């Protein structure tokens, strides 16, 4: 779960969570290496979240890549429309 105070990732309370678990996130999908990363992670049976920048979805090919990643079972997240600096 995400701690609402500092946005750190914490084990879910009341579970036998393994302290050595990591959350894999891939930013800037479906940029050039996203599909290759998805194939490697799938082969390694490693779940991950692919965060998408909408400006990378301008071509039919990039939309196909994202659909492919989704169909491989990966979660998809929003990484802004334009990758604007949010500071
Ligand atoms: Zn990014």
pLDDT tens for 18-28 read 667 788 999 98
User: Distance, CA 30 to ligand 1 centroid (Å)?
Assistant: 11
pLDDT at 42: 97
How far away, in angstroms, is 64 Cα from ligand 1 center? 20
Distances (CA, A) of 9 to 5, 22, 58, 80: 11, 9, 32, 20
Q: What is the mean pLDDT of residues 6-17?
A: 72
**4: pLDDT confidence band, cut at 50, 70 and 90?**
confident
Pseudo-torsion of CA 54, 56, 58, 59, nearest 10°? Answer: -140
β-strand partners of 52: 29, 78
C-alpha–C-alpha distance, residues 36 and 15, integer Å: 33
Ligand 1 centroid to residue 16 C-alpha, Å: 32
Ligand 1 ion: nearby residues, β-carbon < 5 Å: 27-28
């Amino acid at each position: 779960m995400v701690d609402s105070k500092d946005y750190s990732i914490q084990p879910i309370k009341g579970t036998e969570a393994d302290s050595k678990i990591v959350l894999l996130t891939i930013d800037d999908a479906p940029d050039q290496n996203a599909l290759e990363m998805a194939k490697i992670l799938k082969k390694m049976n490693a779940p991950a979240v692919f965060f998408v920048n909408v400006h990378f979805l301008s071509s039919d090919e990039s939309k196909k890549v994202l659909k492919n990643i989704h169909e491989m079972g990966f979660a998809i997240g929003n990484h802004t429309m334009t990758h604007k600096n949010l500071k």
